[in-house]
A and B are shown apart, each in its own frame.
Chain A
């Protein structure tokens, strides 16, 4: 790799700004996990099917295994690490804990981010709407039911809490 093959980008991640020098082909997932040490985002398939790598870019869910880091240049990224605030679990995380919407936890960051996006747009979704929103995320452990229950139980709490999430978090 020659120096000219690298690109300088600026990413805002969970409210903090980072300057990164990356190859154009570097995946957003690798930039987050390896360059920024945000290993909460997991890679389950690296071909866009499982949803475990889901993060939000400008509030919209994307598969970070299918997006290049350079495409996120100048944009706001939110990862699972951006959910909890000051040691307090986000209501969605709290609800996943209450309902045990996880077992191995590997798919969980992807589900949390997808559910977060859903609740931003639809604070009180029906079971059908939750199933439809989560239909692109695979969990091999739970059988999904307790995930759905967690999203249901979080929905009201999140609707209340989202107003207090500081700007610049991708929220």
Chain B
């Protein structure tokens, strides 16, 4: 399955995306666009309290509103709904509509289905609820105290998970070290906030017990059966359709809650029901807020600046539920020591439940935080030992001849050239000029800063990270397969069917390019289709930067099956040896001759002329392939080795140059340079888009984005006026270069690049701001670096040094 060639016809070609014309003309169908005869619209009443018991709900007036078909409390809904799927071992139960108690402000309490969303919202206003407010648990340090009120009474404490992972001789390495860098670091709760909120249309057919679902979930062929379980339906009776999705960034892996609400209302009313979150629903209750951590972080270093060992202890505020367990913390253990030869490490994790909307996944999935923490320690080392950051990194980089490289947790990095990436960045950065500018500007009272971060961007997960944090023997290894089907029709046209939806990435373009490469045809002639769960093959969809790797592997596998049959037909018809067959330019050739057959010639025979085919061959010409990524191993029973779980390792170096206005706290970008190495590039334009969009989100968390709660647990950021994502005014021109170190393990040497921008920008931007404020002695230990905070830091620093 491994082919690494340097010259390709279509792989790497900068072609336009084939997804775009439908999106540009408004023809693409998103979930919110679905309209069915008799369809009702749902709206949800949300808890005003962060923590309260529901004493009584009176829905009688709401039910009387003309046009209302159903009003469901959480308790009533349990007749048709079981709890939502959760991937945690701990007994943390979440209902789509709260039963008896609410655990965060914004939790669903009543759902209505009515003839329009307007009527549904009218009805919600008439619902009367008697509450018994409970003391909210908001501050994570308070929540950890033994006498804190409990978010879930059935758990012994709000500290839902606690463990210290140790890999190698951490104590010995710390004892040997000449210096220990110590920082307490704070990473803020951010959220994906895709432009399209989550939603679903469910159509239940009572006589047959079947349900059709149009929704924003991208894991329909992977966990659709779990959602069916919540709806108390046999999984094979539920057909999930793949929909165009308006961005996810991790927040739409499952989206079981919206499906459960629409599905329950459809079961109760017998009508199709649409439930689309509005923006407030999404920001308050999407179950996709992200890592919210306090780190005590230490790096053991020799006097030459060699990193010996890393010791991290995290307190992570998981919010009210625990759907993905601590995957945000396990994920980062795939690359926790970064691109550096750190010999040992310790990672302590305390996962704490509070009365906030729970954590889900957001681009980077916790590895974004790991990069920031590690680079903060690297920068601290540079400052304290007086070793230039570039030189310090060079001294610690894993060298190109050390791959495949097994890092301390047991994960393996497949390939890389970190000095090469850094060189490429420096070659374009013009740092001499900027250092002079910096000096010149400082004389004028202006503060210019140069940032640098060199970080990993892991891609292509295997599922062990979802359970290896719990003790016990390894069971059921999977790398979450992805499938495609390739069919060549009687006239030679090629159709590829995918089983995961479009998400904002470029799956149609990727499969077309790989098909183009495999068959020597122009990708624009390839037809691409999607298939839902009723006809579906195993597929988990985008996530963990896997899609390009997985689709390339699946297409290559399916193409091999189709080619095998084509070659047999062609060899038979051309009376040549099977070994002499090759495909190029859309024809099958006898190697080294001018004898060939077109795909149409072969398609015609395959479909219409059974008796011209080799004996015993079936008619038709298609191949399906389910691709499991090629490299994963089980964790050891004692978890001193977590096994290989994220081996396809990309890398990037970012150099932002900023100017900080110390009076207003504004940060302006003067330059932003990024060099990414994600192996073989399939489509440069599309990859650059992913990188730029990721960097914009990284700038967001560095400077602006934070989900904020009041001391009473009110979410203060439920509109886009309050949860600030970067606009065109904040995101600079971003210069991108590709460095290519192919993976030895994947089709064509491709690695995933979907998350890298967001995983690398925060430490780079943090360093740039810190460097700008260096004359004032400001050290940055927390994000986002909002204008208020920058002004505060400057004022405090100036007060210290008169």
Give the interface of A toward B (CB within 8 A): 1, 23, 25-26, 30, 33-34, 37-47, 49-50, 52, 79-81, 83-84, 89, 93, 96-98, 100, 102-109, 112, 131, 134-148
A143 to B697, CA, bound (A): 8
> What are 19 A-B contacts with C-beta separation under 8 Å?
A23-B118, A37-B35, A42-B196, A44-B196, A44-B279, A44-B720, A47-B721, A49-B720, A80-B25, A80-B26, A89-B25, A96-B20, A96-B24, A102-B24, A103-B247, A104-B504, A140-B192, A140-B193, A140-B725
Query: Is the CB of B692 closer than 8 A to any CB of chain A?
Result: yes
A106 to B66, CA, bound (A): 34
Report yes or no: A143 in contact with B693, Cβ–Cβ below 8 A: yes
The 3 closest A-B pairs by CB, nearest first: A40-B26, A105-B23, A106-B246
Q: Mark B27-39, 1 if CB is under 8 A from A, else 0.
A: 1111011010000
B384 to chain A, nearest CB (A): 34
Residues of B within 8 A of A144 (CB): 692, 696, 727-728, 731
Report yes or no: A104 in contact with B195, Cβ–Cβ below 8 A: yes
Whether A106 touches B195, Cβ cut-off 8 Å, given contacts A37-B35, A40-B26, A100-B686, is: yes
Residues of B within 8 A of A136 (CB): 727
Other-chain residue from A38, A83, A97, A100 in contact with B689 (beta carbon distance below 8 A): A100
- Within 1-58 of B, Cβ neighbours of A (below 8 Å) are at 16-17, 19-30, 32-33, 35
Report yes or no: A97 in contact with B20, Cβ–Cβ below 8 A: yes
Report yes or no: A135 in contact with B729, Cβ–Cβ below 8 A: yes
Other-chain residue from B195, B278, B504 in contact with A46 (beta carbon distance below 8 A): B278
Report yes or no: A42 in contact with B731, Cβ–Cβ below 8 A: no
A23 to B115, CA, bound (A): 14
Query: Is the CB of B204 closer than 8 A to any CB of chain A?
Result: no
Report yes or no: B29 in contact with A146, Cβ–Cβ below 8 A: no
Q: Which of A80, A97, A109, A136 has the most CB of B within 10 A?
A: A97
Query: Is the CB of B695 closer than 8 A to any CB of chain A?
Result: yes
- Within 373-416 of B, Cβ neighbours of A (below 8 Å) are at none
Smallest CB-CB separation from B245: which chain A residue? Answer: A104
Residues of A within 8 A of B244 (CB): 104-105
Residues of B within 8 A of A112 (CB): 24
Smallest CB-CB separation from A136: which chain B residue? Answer: B727
Report yes or no: A106 in contact with B247, Cβ–Cβ below 8 A: yes
Report yes or no: B26 in contact with A45, Cβ–Cβ below 8 A: no
Report yes or no: A52 in contact with B692, Cβ–Cβ below 8 A: no
Other-chain residue from B29, B245, B685, B696 in contact with A39 (beta carbon distance below 8 A): B29
B374 to chain A, nearest CB (A): 24
A147 to B727, CA, bound (A): 12
Residues of A within 8 A of B245 (CB): 104
Report yes or no: A145 in contact with B246, Cβ–Cβ below 8 A: no
Query: Is the CB of B503 closer than 8 A to any CB of chain A?
Result: yes
Report yes or no: B23 in contact with A102, Cβ–Cβ below 8 A: yes
B717 to chain A, nearest CB (A): 12
Q: Mark B695-724, 1 if CB is under 8 A from A, else 0.
A: 111000000000000000000000111000
A50 to B193, CA, bound (A): 12
A109 to B24, CA, bound (A): 7
A140 to B694, CA, bound (A): 9
B200 to chain A, nearest CB (A): 16
A139 to B151, CA, bound (A): 36
A26 to B436, CA, bound (A): 59
Query: Is the CB of B75 closer than 8 A to any CB of chain A?
Result: no
A87 to chain B, nearest CB (A): 10
Smallest CB-CB separation from B503: which chain A residue? Answer: A104
A78 to chain B, nearest CB (A): 12
- Within 295-315 of B, Cβ neighbours of A (below 8 Å) are at none
Query: Is the CB of B194 closer than 8 A to any CB of chain A?
Result: yes
Other-chain residue from B20, B279, B725 in contact with A105 (beta carbon distance below 8 A): B20
Query: Is the CB of B733 closer than 8 A to any CB of chain A?
Result: yes
Q: Which of B20, B686, B696 has the most CB of A within 10 A?
A: B20
A132 to B399, CA, bound (A): 46
* Interface SS, A side: loop
Q: Mark B181-195, 1 if CB is under 8 A from A, else 0.
A: 000000000001111
Other-chain residue from B33, B118, B720 in contact with A138 (beta carbon distance below 8 A): B720
Smallest CB-CB separation from B718: which chain A residue? Answer: A47
Residues of A within 8 A of B690 (CB): 103
Residues of A within 8 A of B728 (CB): 131, 134-135, 137, 139, 144, 147-148
Other-chain residue from A30, A100, A140 in contact with B20 (beta carbon distance below 8 A): A100
Residues of B within 8 A of A146 (CB): 688-689, 692
- Within 487-546 of B, Cβ neighbours of A (below 8 Å) are at 502-506
- Within 552-584 of B, Cβ neighbours of A (below 8 Å) are at none
A46 to chain B, nearest CB (A): 5
Report yes or no: A50 in contact with B692, Cβ–Cβ below 8 A: no
A10 to chain B, nearest CB (A): 22
Residues of B within 8 A of A46 (CB): 278-279
Report yes or no: A98 in contact with B16, Cβ–Cβ below 8 A: yes
Whether A105 touches B28, Cβ cut-off 8 Å, given contacts A100-B20, A143-B695, is: yes
Whether A141 touches B24, Cβ cut-off 8 Å, given contacts A42-B195, A42-B196, A147-B728, is: no
Report yes or no: B689 in contact with A39, Cβ–Cβ below 8 A: no
B759 to chain A, nearest CB (A): 15
A3 to B572, CA, bound (A): 75
A34 to B117, CA, bound (A): 11
Residues of A within 8 A of B695 (CB): 143
Report yes or no: B25 in contact with A81, Cβ–Cβ below 8 A: yes
A26 to B117, CA, bound (A): 10
Other-chain residue from A23, A104, A107, A145 in contact with B692 (beta carbon distance below 8 A): A145
A147 to B697, CA, bound (A): 16
Whether A143 touches B692, Cβ cut-off 8 Å, given contacts A50-B195, A83-B25, A104-B195, is: yes
Residues of A within 8 A of B29 (CB): 39
Report yes or no: A100 in contact with B246, Cβ–Cβ below 8 A: no
Other-chain residue from B32, B194, B280 in contact with A104 (beta carbon distance below 8 A): B194
Report yes or no: B720 in contact with A89, Cβ–Cβ below 8 A: no
Q: Mark B228-255, 1 if CB is under 8 A from A, else 0.
A: 0000000000000000111101000000
Report yes or no: A100 in contact with B720, Cβ–Cβ below 8 A: no
Whether A100 touches B23, Cβ cut-off 8 Å, given contacts A45-B719, A145-B731, A148-B728, is: no
Query: Is the CB of B170 closer than 8 A to any CB of chain A?
Result: no
Smallest CB-CB separation from B729: which chain A residue? Answer: A135
A38 to B720, CA, bound (A): 25
B477 to chain A, nearest CB (A): 33
Residues of B within 8 A of A44 (CB): 195-197, 246, 279, 720
Query: Is the CB of B127 closer than 8 A to any CB of chain A?
Result: no
Report yes or no: A100 in contact with B685, Cβ–Cβ below 8 A: yes
Residues of A within 8 A of B731 (CB): 143-145
A66 to B552, CA, bound (A): 44
Smallest CB-CB separation from A147: which chain B residue? Answer: B728
Other-chain residue from B28, B118, B247, B757 in contact with A140 (beta carbon distance below 8 A): B247
Residues of B within 8 A of A30 (CB): 117
Report yes or no: A143 in contact with B247, Cβ–Cβ below 8 A: no
Smallest CB-CB separation from A41: which chain B residue? Answer: B26
Query: Is the CB of B88 closer than 8 A to any CB of chain A?
Result: no
Residues of A within 8 A of B504 (CB): 103-106, 141
Query: Is the CB of B126 closer than 8 A to any CB of chain A?
Result: no
A89 to B23, CA, bound (A): 12
Smallest CB-CB separation from A47: which chain B residue? Answer: B719
Report yes or no: A45 in contact with B729, Cβ–Cβ below 8 A: no
Q: Mark B336-356, 1 if CB is under 8 A from A, else 0.
A: 000000000000000000000
Residues of A within 8 A of B692 (CB): 142-146
Other-chain residue from B118, B197, B247 in contact with A141 (beta carbon distance below 8 A): B247
Report yes or no: B24 in contact with A97, Cβ–Cβ below 8 A: yes
- 8 new A-B contacts at CB < 8 Å, known A39-B26, A141-B693: A39-B30, A45-B720, A50-B720, A84-B25, A96-B24, A104-B246, A140-B249, A140-B693
A146 to B696, CA, bound (A): 12
A49 to B720, CA, bound (A): 6
Other-chain residue from B24, B193, B278, B686 in contact with A93 (beta carbon distance below 8 A): B24
Q: Which of A30, A37, A81, A106 has the most CB of B within 10 A?
A: A106
A65 to chain B, nearest CB (A): 10
Residues of B within 8 A of A102 (CB): 20, 23-24
